[in-house]
């Protein structure tokens, strides 16, 4: 999306929600949890980055970002604009082997440019606009280790990105519970989180 679109929407006062979507399934469990979260935001501008469709290259540690405020690989430029313009960042992801699916992990690693901007270039904060973030996680098992690990990773990454994590909603046990009671509990927790974030905007 062009930068002038971002600016126009900011001037209109419409809140911008950026979804970083980590599932390969557009109508899977993660999509259902996301739908519950977004319900309280009928008037927000919602922009979605589908990690599996974008197939963003991984960070190759070229270190260009330690000497200038830029990235050597252009495929992140649009996500950079979206991140800067967003009021709310929603990370919606399944657990894959106790972490993010690889395409979403690549996006997370590409935020290294903000770490470098903060700690190598001294930009404080490296992203001007403060953001609120929500984490939505699905997991096949009832084990919460994957959600906890993802939470820790994002807490570290978002702390340099002027972004505070307001909470998380986890739908655990999806492998044995597709469409059953625990979805209702997870959907409620996603909606409650959305309402809490909305009240702060
Ligand atoms: C490659 C792969 C790895 C997975 N690893 C885990 C895991 O470590 N822990 C877990 O609880 N579920 C794991 N799962 C299950 C998914 O997290 C679960 O099925 C999730 O609900 C899928 O979301 P989706 O319906 O949006 O695709 C894994 C699934 C796949 C395909």
DSSP conformational letter for 61: -
Instruction: Determine, yes or no, domain membership for 105.
Output: yes
Instruction: Determine, yes or no, domain membership for 201.
Output: no
Cis check for the bond before 106: say yes or no (omega within 30 of 0).
no
Residue 169's φ and ψ, nearest 5 degrees, are: -125, 130
Residue of the nearest CA to atom 15 in ligand 1? 140
Walk along the chain (201 residues) and give the pLDDT tens digit of each residue: 444 444 444 445 789 999 999 999 999 999 999 999 999 999 999 999 999 999 999 999 999 999 999 999 999 999 999 999 999 999 999 999 999 999 999 999 999 999 999 999 999 999 999 999 999 999 999 999 999 999 999 999 999 999 999 999 999 999 986 555 689 999 999 999 999 999 999
Distance CA 37, CA 193 (A): 7
Domain that holds residue 146: 3-195
Residue 74 sits in a domain of what CATH number? 3.40.50.360
Instruction: Determine, yes or no, domain membership for 200.
Output: no
Positive or negative, the CA dihedral 100, 128, 15, 132 is positive
Q: Is 28 in the pocket of ligand 1 (CB under 6 A)?
A: yes
When divided into structural domains, the chain yields a total of 1
CA of 192 to the centre of ligand 1 (A): 24
Which residues have CB under 8 Å from 195's CB, separation 6+?
40
Distance CA 4, CA 184 (A): 40
pLDDT of residue 182: 87
DSSP conformational letter for 136: E
Instruction: Determine, yes or no, domain membership for 77.
Output: yes
Of 100, 140, 141, the one to substitute when testing ligand 1's pocket (max ligand atoms within 8 A of C-beta) is 140
């Amino acid at each position: 999306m062009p930068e002038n679109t971002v600016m126009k929407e900011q001037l209109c006062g419409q809140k911008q929600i950026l979804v970083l979507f980590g599932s390969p399934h557009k109508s899977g469990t993660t999509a259902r949890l996301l739908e519950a979260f977004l319900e309280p935001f009928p008037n927000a501008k919602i922009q979605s980055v589908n990690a599996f469709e974008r197939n963003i290259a991984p960070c190759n540690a070229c270190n260009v970002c330690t000497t200038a405020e830029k990235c050597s690989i252009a495929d992140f430029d649009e996500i950079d604009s979206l991140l800067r313009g967003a009021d709310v960042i929603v990370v919606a992801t399944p657990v894959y082997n106790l972490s993010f699916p690889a395409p979403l992990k690549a996006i997370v690693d590409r935020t290294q440019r903000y770490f470098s901007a903060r700690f190598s270039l001294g930009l404080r904060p490296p992203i001007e606009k403060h953001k609120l973030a929500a984490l939505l996680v699905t997991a096949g098992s009832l084990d919460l280790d994957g959600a906890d690990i993802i939470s820790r990773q994002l807490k570290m990454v978002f702390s340099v990105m002027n972004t505070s994590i307001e909470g998380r909603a986890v739908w655990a046990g999806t492998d044995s519970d597709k469409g059953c009671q625990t979805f209702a509990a997870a959907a409620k927790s996603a909606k409650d989180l959305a309402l809490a974030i909305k009240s702060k905007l």
